[in-house]
A and B are shown apart, each in its own frame.
Chain A
């Protein structure tokens, strides 16, 4: 009681701070801020040696080496003026004075901002009638005085500039005069001159406009972007125990859908940019990390904590510079870099505990036996135990991340190094993944700073112990955890002698606990990638570049399943072990020329590039069986029994591909408001058929910065308004495996002929000399806006993308084809969509900001055509099974359309009945059967995310809701767990009892469910400590994160986020997944000084 009172008192006292104290605090804060604001400019010592460099080059160099950012109008500064600069360890002002010593230029340094402008010509006021004298002050968004702001009496040339303390004094004709207050980089304000000592606060222009965005082979200022690019920097990314970089941007970008199917340690989410654009060509985007190109697995090889920014090229006009690798979109990642004069040492760590939120409900042993007796199960099938199989196979998971990064720099050199560990222990027993990554990056200037060398090296090891992915009885093969639902609860785990129980009366019985405990299922991924970039300034504006990267990945997969695992094949073989080694080597080299020039109102930036890529894949596999004991597992295959070697026990492979590209790109800007980007890439690839080795990938896009038009000068609604439109062609060739265009003979097992067992050969692939890339033609129109004093910001994009020459393994008539499918470019599919992102600063003041951010995407997918002809042979492809049972590719419908029989209940024998739609008395289960009806597609038609962020002083809170819907999921797992015919050997769901079905001969819509969901994906609460007095620590941040906290859905499976990434029987089909976890994490981030 007493304690409570005390608390109340304390709380009360918090609100009772008197005004004096408040003011003191404010002043103190201002002082701190002030000192901080000045600190950078005062403290930072700059050294620069540049001979005969352009002003632009000097500015760029300073921006690269320091945190200083320049703001100026192109017309104000002559960027092409050639200067020589020699400063050593000087204040930035010394350097700037030198730079502009002969050119009258007004220089204002504010914290890290350096404003340059033509000196304001002050007209001395000689008018005879001076009526009003106005004194005032201009302050910025932080209420700091602004020196150098211009006050102009509208309609006259009468103007003054504010002094160092932000004050000004102007004499105007009357108190009805209008005063315009302007400052570079800030939104102008107009006031009436009748106020007494006005204090005018200016707000900065939308900060995003100043951001630099990666666009592939270079970067651009965001304001000049004409394509559809989503960007995010580290401070806006998701927080918590992040194990894969995709988790950083989950829900953050419209049109970028990230799906986490289950939470198996080491498993990566899948990502789709503007939907599924290919069937077999691959819909995974290209990943480019600091210039190194790779497939999605490249992302898994860098530490999330070292990512500075992620930019996603969504439309074809943006991605076309990547030509035949760009169709599925491009993820550009830039890693953190060190700046001159600043030393960084920082540690970031998180720990989270992981739970399984909602397992399926199956019968316990009493319920099971009660139900089993009803369907005539004999007593011998009841083994008397009461085992909760799911429970004994699961545990509490633990995820830890640790990252230590340090770096620093001088004027000629900077480096950053980091070491990270990501350690996951899964919620299923014996599943874990440990990832260690070391990175180093160095930049060196040479040859009078004309040559810049950048070196990157990233190496990592991922050691994983995986839960078995595919095991179980013949009738139901799934992952290990899913198998635990199937085991009868009356079967014991152990025999009385302590060995694992195996029910000999059940065909291919599996004791999942035995399998989990005795299997060895390990993988090791060693990866290394490095790059060297050399840029050389040849003459003013012309830069030559050379870039080379090499990426090597070695994977080892070791597997051993002993007989005691109870798996039937393991018992037959007296245990078997195999080892698979894979090697991947990807080399890339490009040579580029860049030319940048400003001619009056015109600004041009040209890039010409030649690129060569070579990728080699190699591997081997060996298997042995019949081991005397289980000690060596897969590490000594030679100890197996070699009297029984099977075909397929030994194999190896090798293939490679070469891609050669020429790229031209031009960016042209007129008066800063008319923007044009055009590019043309020509790609040649070895994997294309011999008749189609080369392809062209053009793009053009236009932008119009409407708010910069003179007629917009006087409006105050729009702070920014830009219209964008583009068209481009991209291709897809990475999904096209090598050798697919050739007619090939391979081995197909062993046969007996001529008195001996011989290798059997057969044609295993048809040739297709016309084989080529898929071409995706995309049109995008977008608008970027910022209104109401920048409080509301957003953009809206609409697109339509058609993938022609769709790659598919078309079923071809056999005859005439020697093989029953051919990889060919025949069909086309279309994706259309609208996506919008909106941010609203609900509260924005000195101490508190509350920003509501959301995005929504609507998309529509349609198979336009799958038929055509190959070599003049008609190819009628329609109603091709694709993905889940009853899911088809049908012309005019989305990919993965469910054409399905309608369940009508059950008959007297409790067998399922379905609707005979055409009433002919026959239930036709053919693909084109009239008894089938369209019931939706596996592809969601909308996704959305809502992301409020709140900051108050040192506390920040971020909440992320995410959802999608409009899709259907075929719940195969529930189907398998619901028919009473199998209860004698298997458990069933609690929900199957009221259903009461004994058997079915149909695959009906009884198991087709809506996939709509809303998930509370992430809640993060952070607290920042800033230390001025502590000796070695600069700042410390604590975070508390919850993931997957709430899930709203009608879906009855474990989790509605299932595989939607493309082909395979898992597409739109829930066959049981590794559980998706709910986790709670604690994070710590310390910056040392």
Chain B
């Protein structure tokens, strides 16, 4: 009896135990990294991931379009736009501090931008590594390397001496804070070695990607600012690079004078849903809430104004400072992007902002901007307008600038005139001066993220304005964010902060 019992219990136990010692982890809803990147499709995925950084994913920080990232930091420290605190309580003082050159190393914008750039560098390094390991198409490897150079260019432009590495298989303590010059040299070398390998196709599969011409535009930008970065100007190199692009068949987009379009001008297409291939060299593709977003117009217009135009409330944020707006000639077609005075939705925008912080601007103070007039799918969260990183008008003005700087103003005139004529303005009476170039860059490229860099290059960045006195020269660089210093005690803060 007892033995029978024990056998019975033992038997039952064994039955239950069978197959119950397996502790392997099963994956149902994710991919294992090794298997995933080992596959041939992964090369494109890795490369696409680097581009995803530029746009920012649907809720992230990117190059432009979304809130609180690289664009705001660079644009609002210049003279072309600012978000004032409103005396109705809206908007924190962060943006006003940017305009007043009063930012701190703890500023979330300074920190967001840094994090975004280093995450991008990391992603680019990863793509280079994976593509090289997979012996991918050399054009794709070159593309990843050019993207990496692009991010480093943005890093030295904003922060000066920055940590520099190209291989992810290292550790932070082994990444030195390289001087601006070292990183500059790397960028120049990397671009010179790789741009020629890039595709020459414009648009289509290469829309939103670095083709050869986008690569050269980047190189030209780096040369253009070489004096700021290294103390040694590279005007001739810049000019030579621009000339390559000038031969690539780009032109100023003439557009169709379309009176039914909301803006009633030909610039509507240039900043619309999908940007034209004739002028656009590199764009950020945007479909609101899906791939990135463009908030620039909805953030500017007042609540009721946007509501009456599009059916959703505007944010009543960004305005154009009086001095910047007043520089435009009345005949300039481009002035139509600005809105002042009475508008639908019973609003009346005023020229004067009044106060940026305390007590803040009245709700309808400030000139508004509709350069990126909402196109495609658009909601209160933003629109689908693509954003031009590089376009041919910029290259033309760079060409002109190099000519002037090299003492050949006569060669510059046609480039500047072409841009003026498209804007409905008369040609210049004389050969362009540096001031003409500087102003024309402001008129043409406003709100496209170039203004801070231009102001520093033309030495206007520190000049006093309506809301502040002259700034100290250390403001030409942003501080290394406090969080980055906390994480890596080896980093040295930029002087002055």
Interface residues of chain A, those whose CB is within 8 Å of chain B, are 375-378, 380-381, 475, 502-509, 536, 538-539, 544, 546, 568-569, 571-573, 589, 591, 610, 612, 644, 646-648, 652-656, 658, 660, 684-688, 693, 738-739, 741-746, 748-755, 757-758, 760-764, 767, 811, 813-816, 818, 820, 873-874, 879, 909-911, 924-928, 981-986, 998-999, 1001
B-side contacts of A755, CB under 8 Å: 204-205, 207
Q: Is the CB of B89 within 8 A of A982?
A: yes
Asked whether A879 lies within 8 Å of B122 as measured between CB atoms, the reply is: no
Name the 4 nearest CB pairs between A and B, nearest first.
A504-B303, A749-B57, A984-B89, A985-B89
Q: How far is the CA of A750 from the CA of B292 in the complex (A)?
A: 9
Q: A538-B9, A658-B23 are in contact. Are A760 and B170 (CB under 8 A)?
A: no
Asked whether A741 and B25 contact (CB < 8 A) given A505-B316, A757-B287, the answer is yes
Query: Taking CB as reference atom, which chain B residue is nearest A374?
Result: B359
With both chains docked as a complex, state the minimum distance between the C-beta of B304 and any C-beta of chain A, in angstroms: 5
Query: Is A751's CB under 8 angstroms from B48's CB?
Result: yes
Considering the chains assembled together, what is the distance between the CA atoms of A535 and B304 in angstroms? 75
- Give the nearest-CB partner of A1003 in chain B: B106
Can you show 28 pairs from A to B with CB atoms below 8 A apart? A376-B359, A377-B89, A504-B302, A505-B316, A506-B89, A546-B16, A612-B17, A612-B20, A653-B28, A660-B20, A686-B23, A742-B25, A742-B33, A743-B33, A744-B27, A744-B31, A749-B59, A751-B55, A753-B208, A761-B31, A815-B125, A818-B122, A926-B106, A927-B482, A983-B89, A984-B86, A984-B87, A1001-B93
A756's closest neighbor in chain B, by CB? B205
Q: Which of A377, A658, A986 is the one whose CB lies under 8 Å from B22?
A: A658
Contacting pair B291 A752 (CB below 8 A): yes
Given contacts A744-B32, A760-B49, contact A816 B168 (CB under 8 A): yes
B245 CB, nearest partner CB in chain A, Å = 22
Expressed in whole angstroms, the Cα–Cα distance for A591 and B12 within the complex equals 9
Most B CB within 10 A of own CB, among A506, A538, A653, A752: A752
Q: Are B57 and A760 within 8 A (Cβ)? A: yes
Interface residue B450 (Cβ < 8 Å from any Cβ of A): no
Interface check B209, CB cutoff 8 A: yes
- Asked if B220 is at the interface of the complex by the 8 Å CB criterion, the answer is no
- Which residues on B are within 8 Å of A, measured CB to CB? 2, 5-6, 9, 12-13, 16-17, 20-34, 36-37, 44-45, 47-49, 51-52, 55, 57-60, 85-93, 104-106, 118-119, 122-123, 125-126, 165, 167-173, 175, 204-205, 207-209, 285, 287, 289-291, 302-304, 307, 312-313, 315-317, 345, 357-360, 362-363, 377, 379-381, 482-483, 485-487
| Residue in chain B with minimal CB distance to A923 | B104
Asked, given contacts A505-B303, A984-B86, whether A750 binds B33 with beta carbons under 8 Å apart, the answer is no
B23-A378 in contact (CB<8A): no
Whether B358 pairs with A750 at a CB distance below 8 angstroms is no
Q: Which residues of A contact B16 (CB under 8 A)?
A: 546, 589, 591, 612
Closest to B303 in A: A504
Smallest beta-carbon distance A768→chain B, Å:
12
Question: Which B residues are in CB contact (< 8 Å) with A693?
Answer: 23
With A752-B51, A816-B170 already in contact, the answer to whether A544 and B9 are too (CB < 8 A) is yes
Residues of A within 8 A of B106 (CB): 925-926
What residues of chain A lie closer than 8 Å to B486, measured between beta carbons?
879, 926-928
Docked Cα-Cα span, A612 to B307, in Å, equals: 61
Let me know if B104 and A1001 touch, CB within 8 A.
yes
Cα-based distance from A745 to B49 in the complex (angstroms) = 12
Give Cα A646 to B105, complex, Å: 35
Contact check, B122 vs A814: say whether CB atoms are below 8 A apart: yes
Pick the residue among A378, A568, A748, A813 that contacts B87 (CB under 8 A).
A378
Q: Please determine whether B36 and A536 come into contact, CB atoms closer than 8 angstroms.
A: no
Partner of A505, one of B6, B58, B363: B363
Residues of B within 8 A of A927 (CB): 482-483, 486
Query: How many angstroms from the CA of A998 to the CA of B71 in the assembled complex?
Result: 29
Q: Determine if B381 and A999 form an interchain contact, defined as CB atoms under 8 angstroms apart.
A: no
How far apart are the CA atoms of A751 and B58 in the complex, in Å?
Answer: 9
In Å, the complex CA distance between A568 and B314 comes to 10
Residues from chain A with a CB closer than 8 A to the CB of B380 are: 568-569, 571-572
Whether B312 contacts A538 by the Cβ 8 Å rule is: no
* B27 / chain A contacts, CB cutoff of 8 Å: 739, 742, 744
Residue of chain A at shortest CB distance from B362: A378
Q: Which of chain A's residues have a CB closer than 8 A to the CB of B36? A: 745, 761
A103 CB to closest chain B CB, in angstroms?
A: 25
B90 touches A660 (CB 8 A): no
CA distance A186 to B487 in the complex (A): 68
Q: A986–B89 contact, CB under 8 A?
A: yes
Contacts of B90 in A (CB 8 A): 506-507, 984-985
Contact (Cβ within 8 A) A644 B377: yes
B345: A residues at CB distance < 8 A: 504
Given A376-B359, A753-B47, A546 and B28 contact (CB-CB distance below 8 Å): no
A752 touches B208 (CB 8 A): yes
In the complex, chain A residues whose CB is within 8 Å of the CB of B44 = 753-754
Can you name the residue of chain A whose Cβ is closest to the Cβ of B123?
A: A762
Contacts of B209 in A (CB 8 A): 753-754
Decide: B171 and A816 in contact? CB cutoff 8 A: yes
Known: A377-B88, A755-B207. A815 touches B313 (CB 8 A): no
Which residues on A sit within 8 Å (CB–CB) of B360?
A: 376, 981, 984
Q: Which of these, A652, A926, A1001, contacts B482 with CB under 8 Å?
A: A926
Residues of A within 8 A of B20 (CB): 589, 612, 660
Contacts of B487 in A (CB 8 A): 811
Cα-based distance from A735 to B486 in the complex (angstroms): 29
- Whether B92 lies near A686 (C-beta < 8 A) is no
Shortest C-beta distance, B62 to chain A (Å), equals: 10
**Of the residues B6, B17, B58, B173, contact of A538 by C-beta under 8 Å:** B6
| B391 → A minimal CB distance (Å) | 18
The residue on A at minimum CB distance from B48 is: A753
Give B90's nearest chain A residue, CB to CB: A507
Given A742-B32, A811-B487, A1001-B93, A378 contacting B88 (CB threshold 8 A): yes
B269 to chain A, nearest CB (A): 19
What's the minimum C-beta distance from A100 to chain B, rounded to whole angstroms? 26
CB-based nearest A residue for B25: A686
Known A-B contacts A644-B377, A743-B32, A815-B125; the reply to A687 vs B25 at CB < 8 A is yes
